[in-house]
Amino acid sequence: METRRKIIVTGGAGFIGSHTVVELIDAGYIPVIIDDFSNSKEWIIDRLCTLTQSTIMYFKVDCKNYETMHEILRGLGDIEGIIHFAAFKSVGESVDLPLKYYNNNIGSLTTILQLITDLNIPKLVFSSSCTVYGEADKLPVTELTPIKKAESPYGYTKQVGEQLINDAKKEGAVILRYFNPIGAHSSGLIGELPIGRPENLVPYITQTAVGIRKQLQIFGNDYNTFDGTCLRDYIHVVDLAKAHVKAIQYLDTNKITETFNIGTGKANSVLEMVKTFEAVNNTKLNYKIVARRLGDIEQIYADTKKANVLLKWKANFGIKEALRDAWNWELNNQT
């Protein structure tokens, strides 16, 4: 196995991908980034090289381009696996531009699966999402919780992606269903980098705190939760990144295709996130309660026992560390 240490990381300059590159290097792998930089910045590569004290190979290419991808991967020689992050990820945009999402998210995975077959690449780790569960009838959700009708084209691309993998790669794949990734690397060198208006809560919090956004809106305080705001399972991105390394290692001895929830197993409310951010960072936020937002799920959090036992992985950080690191990243990247 020592000859096969190269791991292709599609979308490796993105939020989760970049943190996974750091963890792969730390674990002794050789990550090779494939990214078209449509949802990331090329200078992240320099940050990764600084952070890891390594020279990181990368290629600027669209994952849907089979011919170019085939030429690149064949030229790299033995490849141990592919971690496939590259996808568009905005729920709202997917509603407005469904064909963009179907073409990119499903098209890129189809190409990756074909390359894996043609080049005999043994391992695949796929970036899925807890959105596949929708509004679950019973909490916490396990990997056996029924998959419901997708609330958005984005969510549907994740459901289709999982089915594609189960159909096309019946062994040697791990599907990771993320809950809500937040935070940043403690160095402040890499973190979440929204292009335009943030879609996720924590970058909107940090951008409001630093003055880029005038006000944070909390959508609804009349849900059936302890403080009336929505509940989510927020996981530190470094913990999430480590799960990908564990998934690659799991496939050393397990040749099946398997699915895992990757979360903390705890639920925190939107209001709790705001109050914790203020307390941890000694910073006041300008926020306002507004009407509910269409399509928001009231609450969801993970049962992570399967990942704890089989992947030998667990989340080590909580929301305090994640919100501290997210704020440090925001402050370090003001120009």
Contacts of residue 231, defined as CB under 8 A and 6 or more positions apart, other chains included, come to 225, 267, 268, 269, 298, 299, 300, 301
Sign of the dihedral through C-alpha 14, 18, 24, 28? positive
Angstrom CA distances, 227 to 206, 220, 223, stand at 22, 10, 8
> Which listed residue (154, 156, 178, 250) is catalytic?
154
Quote the radius of gyration of the chain (alpha carbons, Å): 19
- 81: tokens are 């696996």
Q: Token pair 């990243």 is at which residue? A: 329
**Catalytic site residue 154?**
yes
How far is the C-alpha of 202 from the C-alpha of 279, rounded, in Å? 15
Are the beta carbons of 326 and 191 closer than 8 angstroms? yes
Are the beta carbons of 312 and 246 closer than 8 angstroms? yes
Exposure of 258 in the CB half-sphere (CA atoms within 13 A): 18
* DSSP symbol at 210: H
Q: Token pair 């990550």 is at which residue? A: 31
Count of Cβ atoms closer than 10 Å to residue 294 Cβ: 8
How far is the C-alpha of 53 from the C-alpha of 63, rounded, in Å? 27
Best CA proximity match to 152, nearest among 228, 193, 100: 100
- Per the DSSP assignment, residues forming a β-bridge with 181 are 235
Tell me which residues are annotated as active site.
154
